[in-house]
Structure 1
Amino acid sequence: MSLGSQIAGHLPFLRRYARALTGSQASGDAYVREMLEAVLADDSLKAEMAGGRVPLYRAFSKVWSSASGPAATGETDSEHEAGAQARLGAITPPARQALLLTTLEDFSVEEAATILDRSPEEINAMVAAAIADVDREQTTSVLIIEDEPLIAMQLEDLVTGLGHTVSGTAATRTQANAAVAEATPGLVLADIQLADGSSGLDAVEDILGIASMPVIFITAYPERLLTGDRPEPTYLVTKPFQEATVRAAISQALFFGSTRPLG
């Protein structure tokens, strides 16, 4: 398999990671492009890329740490992104990286240590620090849009366990609209394929036409959205999910205060 083919298979998930770090699809993609340009210009980096996902994320981490991308220079594509970047000082960037690598991207502590040039002990300490920082966020109410009852119950338990309240649950687009009419949530967790064949994407667009709040999509088919052909969800969790992954996504969404599900 060619190097390009190897990298292409991992790129959708690297872009998801970059987007979670920056709070923006535009800035995240800009960092990924800068990393790819660096690889093309450096034969030693090309050789490392044959090692799979870990060296790819390691190369990206070097670009991110260099703070040379558009988000670092203050070139942002929206007021939301500018606000998100202003809040980055509230949590140490390496700690955020460690948290996302071991939850959202499902790397082992040892793999995250290699990516960030740290020891496993340092990674564990950084993850603990990141969790402490993001858990200081204000509690909110959560609407759960999910057509599988057991998963909906699991998400309810997770949300309440984090100190949030559940404003409502919905299995269809119609039910979601009705739930928002009764109580406006501060956060939405949404499946994409719903019980009656309706779309969670459409349900969320309806909701955001009424009020602004962060949205986390949960789906068994992330590759259908991570195409680069259109604006993508900022927060996207893959089914079957680990509770730690959803917890990290909730914390990140509240930390950045995203008011759009896409872009």
Structure 2
Amino acid sequence: MPMLDTEALKASLPFARRFARALTGDQARGDAVVAACLRHGLPDLPGHLALHAAIAREVPEDPSSAVEPLSAIQRRLMLLTALEELSLEDTALVLGLSEAEATAELAAARENLKRAATTDVLIIEDEPLIAMDLRILVQQCGHRVVGLAASEDAALQLAEQHRPGLILADINLGRGGDGMNAVRRILRISHVPVIFITAYPQKLLTAEGLEPAFVINKPFDRLSVSIATYQAVSAGKVPIA
């Protein structure tokens, strides 16, 4: 293994785990990928990029499908730039592309996202303005919002009633309870992909108990919501690892 900045590597670990989970669509599979990368050795890149690069190489690239709007490289580009918030220069390094190649593929990926599959979405958020913003963003991504829940009980009721194909959940619901607990209750009755929304994603990636495969940083934007919803839905339907 090359000499790495171990402090930078440690600092990047929670976010690299998030990338692996988003790429594979599963907590256990994502963590297994990270463990394999650490065993096999990391590429000679700066510490904050080395693990991301190893993960991108560890997960096999499936052949593109005629019904699949994003190629494997486009998925990686979108996840690294939109969710991991890496610069285009750093993303190109991680994926072994030139900046020109990365720019062209990223532009194609953003255009292809318009053809992504749609689903019914339940939003769990106690702040009315944030819930409204999320509703607009989700609808702009082509999805249907089947309910807004401000509490655990309301979330469970709506999930039972509508059986959504995707859930977007805040962590702190104020007096309405806990978003993680709401999701635990829903997952007992339905297997559905979940995206958590938080200003502190590293607090959700502690290797203790239930952890999300998909996390959006607050404040969020349309692109991050778009790629997260696409990846969450498609990872459960299209094998990508």
TM-score (norm 2): 0.84
By how many angstroms is 1:15 displaced? Answer: 0.9
- Give the whole-Å Cα distance in 1 for the aligned partners of 2:233 and 2:73: 19
- Quick check: 55-64 or 115-124, which moved more? 55-64
By how many angstroms is 1:208 displaced? Answer: 2.6
**Considering only aligned residues, what root-mean-square deviation do their CA atoms show, in Å?**
2.5
2:31 corresponds in structure 1 to 29
Counterpart residue identity of residue 57, structure 1: H
Give the secondary structure class of the aligned counterpart of 2:115.
Answer: coil
By how many angstroms is 1:26 displaced? Answer: 2.6
In 2, are the aligned partners of 1:134 and 1:252 still within 8 Å (CA)?
Answer: no
Give 5+ residue unaligned stretches, structure 2. Answer: none
Counterpart residue identity of residue 178, structure 2: S
The change in CA–CA distance for 1:115 and 1:159 in structure 2 (over 3 A counts) is same
2:109 corresponds in structure 1 to 130
By how many angstroms is 1:240 displaced? Answer: 2.0
In 2, are the aligned partners of 1:167 and 1:184 still within 8 Å (CA)?
Answer: no
Counterpart residue identity of residue 52, structure 2: Y
Quick check: 1:152 aligned with 2:143? no
Counterpart residue identity of residue 24, structure 1: D
Post-superposition CA distance 1:164-222 (Å, at most 9, x none)? 22111111112212333443322110011102151111212222333332211111222
User: Aligned match of 1:109 in 84, 88, 109?
Assistant: 88
User: Aligned match of 2:40 in 38, 41, 48?
Assistant: 38
Superposition pairs of residues 1-263 of structure 1, within 5 angstroms:
3-39=5-41, 45=43, 48=44, 51-64=46-59, 67=60, 90=68, 91-196=70-175, 198-257=177-236
Give the secondary structure class of the aligned counterpart of 1:196.
Answer: helix
- Give the whole-Å Cα distance in 1 for the aligned partners of 2:58 and 2:161: 46
- Give the whole-Å Cα distance in 2 for the aligned partners of 1:249 and 1:207: 20
Relative contact order (alpha carbons < 8 A, sep ≥ 6): 1 or 2 greater? 2
Counterpart residue identity of residue 95, structure 2: L
- Give the whole-Å Cα distance in 1 for the aligned partners of 2:145 and 2:233: 15
The change in CA–CA distance for 1:210 and 1:248 in structure 2 (over 3 A counts) is same
In 1, are the aligned partners of 2:152 and 2:176 still within 8 Å (CA)?
Answer: no
- Give the whole-Å Cα distance in 1 for the aligned partners of 2:184 and 2:54: 36
Give the secondary structure class of the aligned counterpart of 1:107.
Answer: coil
In 2, are the aligned partners of 1:99 and 1:126 still within 8 Å (CA)?
Answer: no
Counterpart residue identity of residue 39, structure 1: G
Counterpart residue identity of residue 144, structure 1: I
In 1, are the aligned partners of 2:172 and 2:179 still within 8 Å (CA)?
Answer: yes
Give 5+ residue unaligned stretches, structure 1. Answer: 73-84, 259-263
Counterpart residue identity of residue 249, structure 1: A
- Give the whole-Å Cα distance in 1 for the aligned partners of 2:207 and 2:129: 32
Give the secondary structure class of the aligned counterpart of 1:13.
Answer: helix
In 1, are the aligned partners of 2:14 and 2:205 still within 8 Å (CA)?
Answer: yes
By how many angstroms is 1:37 displaced? Answer: 2.5
Give the secondary structure class of the aligned counterpart of 1:216.
Answer: strand
Identity of aligned residues (%): 43
In 1, are the aligned partners of 2:19 and 2:52 still within 8 Å (CA)?
Answer: no
Give the secondary structure class of the aligned counterpart of 1:166.
Answer: strand
